[in-house]
Structure 1
Amino acid sequence: MYDLDADDHRALAGRGNFQRYFLFVVLLDFRIFHDRLMA
């Protein structure tokens, strides 16, 4: 039971890092797209 909880915490941490990385990539792509749109 405790091992499953530890795995869940690790999965949640990984998901948080993935969301942060995904948001960074989306913002970076949006900036590039915006610059190309304004040019």
Structure 2
Amino acid sequence: MAFEQATIGMGGEMGGRTMREVVGILNACLTTFAESAREP
């Protein structure tokens, strides 16, 4: 939750649209990392 709040705080400065793009990129990276961790 703290990580999401920090991302939203950064997004507020850059703009809502940019925030969504950043969140999407972060989610994609986290998903890829999780899948890689499951399949070494």
TM-score by length of 2: 0.63
Q: What's the counterpart of residue 15 of structure 2?
A: 7
| Unmatched tracts of structure 2, length 5 or more | 1-11
Structure 1: which 5+ residue stretches go unaligned? 33-39
Q: Percent identity?
A: 4
Higher relative CO (CA 8 A, sep ≥ 6), structure 1 or 2? 2
1:28 alignment counterpart:
36
CA-atom RMSD, angstroms?
Answer: 1.7
The runs of at least 4 aligned residues of structure 1 exceeding 6 Å deviation read none
> Scaled by the length of structure 1, what TM-score is found?
0.65
Counterpart residue number, 1:37: none
How many residues get paired?
28
Higher Cα radius of gyration:
1
Offset at residue 30 of structure 1 (A): 0.3
